[in-house]
């Protein structure tokens, strides 16, 4: 088999290394794996292909590029958005086929699983990663079990089931769900967006696409969600690769956004931040990760620091976005609330800022309706 970019699997903490076609998602000693990859960028070749993540084929870790799974994941639009009087660039990743940017990672990861000849995978998710993996497994003819917490949005469960995936509801916390999936993964392939490094080499195409859409003039700052950090870590890889290839003149600062109600990174980095809780329920279910597996990597990737947003700010920003014509998930509103806070407290005049709308509002329509009715209550009780 010929690889697209040449690559191998490596465990950064222990130095263990594996061939590209090793069916591994963690090392023999149980450590996290990353990919050691030599990406190639050929601008002429790229320009001749349709827009979207696959135009960067020589920079992706694909064992069999011709057998990748495509579902029309074209380049997402980059639009200017005026927030509190300042313009930022926003990438509309909620327009992916399954309704969230998780398709970038799942498309690459499940293409890899198929190239390995894997017939069954397990995965765990609070919703959107499960939708994306189930979608590409359906297209690839791979059986898939998705472990989800008991409180997952019903519409996301219906979407996962509609693709034909087996749903395994796990009572308890998000961490209990991860533990159950980990146990099942002992005997199958773990298509985890957290453990499996191929996912991050799909999400890195966000950075490629953004820079190409800006004529390779990288923004100064990119504001991203920080739940499990799959977009944050993908961007860290993507921008670094573009810089090493000489395609951009600097690596943007990356700012991670957490909900104050569930802010393990903020608590670890800045203990005593007012209102910051290590774990707790939040309207931003997509970033409610109390113990992110790649926390140390996320803290290193967030070179522009972290921002914590209140529940009131999330609800307020969701209302603002809907009023501007963007029907997105509450989690997406949390990221934009983080941008607004960054603009108010830390941005320099003229700073070029980019960000993302991550998930489609149709996935959480009931919750959004309730939140917008709750607005007055949130104004008087900002800690709800």
Ligand X SMILES: *Cc1c(COP(=O)(O)O)cnc(C)c1O
Q: By CB under 6 A, name the binding residues for ligand X.
A: 100, 102, 128, 225-232, 286-287, 289, 329, 331-332, 358-359
Question: Minimum Å distance from CB 330 to ligand X?
Answer: 9
Nearer to ligand X, 248 or 301 (CB): 301
Per DSSP, what are the bridge partners of residue 355? 90
Nearer to ligand X, 4 or 152 (CB): 152
Question: Minimum Å distance from CB 331 to ligand X?
Answer: 4
Nearer to ligand X, 34 or 329 (CB): 329
Do the Cβ atoms of 267 and 291 come closer than 8 Å?
no
Nearer to ligand X, 33 or 259 (CB): 259
Nearer to ligand X, 20 or 227 (CB): 227
What is the spatial order of strands in the sheet that 6-10 belongs to? 17-18, 6-10, 34-38
Tokens 């696409």 correspond to what residue? 209
Do the Cβ atoms of 33 and 9 come closer than 8 Å?
yes
Tokens 């002992």 correspond to what residue? 186
Question: Minimum Å distance from CB 310 to ligand X?
Answer: 17
Do the Cβ atoms of 253 and 286 come closer than 8 Å?
no
Question: Minimum Å distance from CB 336 to ligand X?
Answer: 11
Question: Minimum Å distance from CB 203 to ligand X?
Answer: 8
What is the DSSP secondary structure assignment for residue 363, as one 8-state letter?
A: G
Question: Minimum Å distance from CB 47 to ligand X?
Answer: 30
Nearer to ligand X, 63 or 265 (CB): 265
Largest CA distance in the chain: 62
Question: Minimum Å distance from CB 92 to ligand X?
Answer: 12
Nearer to ligand X, 120 or 155 (CB): 155
Nearer to ligand X, 242 or 257 (CB): 257
Q: Cβ-closest residue to ligand X? A: 359
Distance CA 144, CA 196 (A): 15
Per DSSP, what are the bridge partners of residue 88? 81
- Alpha helices in the chain, H assignment, sequence order: 43-48, 102-115, 128-140, 154-162, 174-184, 197-203, 205-213, 230-244, 264-269, 295-301, 311-323, 330-345, 365-380
Per DSSP, what are the bridge partners of residue 308? 258
Question: Minimum Å distance from CB 359 to ligand X?
Answer: 3
Distance CA 96, CA 297 (A): 26
Do the Cβ atoms of 91 and 78 come closer than 8 Å?
yes
Straight-line distance from the first to the last Cα atom of the chain, in angstroms, rounded to the nearest whole number: 54
Pair of tokens at residue 75:
């380049």
Pair of tokens at residue 26:
């963690």
């Amino acid at each position: 088999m010929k690889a697209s970019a040449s690559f191998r699997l490596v465990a950064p903490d222990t130095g263990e290394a594996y061939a590209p076609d090793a069916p591994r998602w963690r090392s023999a000693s149980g450590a996290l794996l990353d990919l050691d990859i030599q990406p190639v960028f050929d601008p002429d070749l790229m320009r001749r292909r349709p827009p979207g993540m696959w135009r960067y084929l020589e920079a992706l870790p694909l064992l069999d590029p011709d057998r990748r799974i495509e579902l029309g994941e074209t380049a997402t639009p980059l639009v200017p958005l005026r927030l509190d009087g300042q313009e930022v660039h926003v990438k509309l990743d909620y327009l992916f086929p399954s309704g969230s940017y998780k398709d970038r990672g799942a498309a690459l990861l499940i293409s890899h699983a198929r190239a390995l000849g894997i017939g069954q995978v397990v995965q765990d998710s609070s919703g959107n990663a499960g939708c994306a993996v189930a979608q590409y497994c359906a297209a690839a003819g791979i059986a898939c079990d998705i472990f989800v917490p008991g409180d997952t949005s019903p519409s996301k469960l219906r979407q996962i089931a509609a693709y034909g995936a087996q749903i395994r509801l796990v009572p308890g916390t998000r961490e209990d769900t991860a533990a159950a999936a980990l146990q099942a993964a002992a005997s199958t392939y773990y298509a985890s967006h957290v453990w499996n490094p191929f996912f991050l080499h799909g999400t890195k195409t966000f950075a490629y696409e953004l820079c190409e859409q800006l004529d390779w003039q990288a923004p100064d700052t990119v504001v991203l969600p920080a739940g499990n950090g799959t977009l944050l870590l993908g961007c860290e890889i993507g921008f670094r690769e573009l810089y090493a290839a000489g395609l951009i003149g600097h690596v943007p600062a990356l700012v991670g956004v957490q909900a104050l109600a569930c802010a393990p990174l903020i608590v670890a980095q800045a203990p005593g931040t007012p209102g910051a809780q290590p774990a707790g329920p939040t309207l931003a279910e997509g970033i409610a990760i109390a113990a992110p597996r790649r926390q140390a990597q996320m803290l290193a990737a967030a070179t522009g620091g972290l921002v914590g947003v209140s529940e009131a700010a999330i609800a307020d920003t969701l209302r603002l976005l809907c009023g501007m014509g963007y029907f997105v998930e509450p989690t997406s509103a949390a990221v934009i609330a983080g941008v607004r806070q960054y603009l108010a407290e830390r941005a320099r005049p003229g700073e070029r800022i980019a960000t993302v709308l991550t998930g489609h509002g149709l996935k959480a329509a009931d919750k959004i309706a309730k939140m917008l009715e709750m607005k007055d209550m949130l104004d008087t009780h900002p800690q709800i």
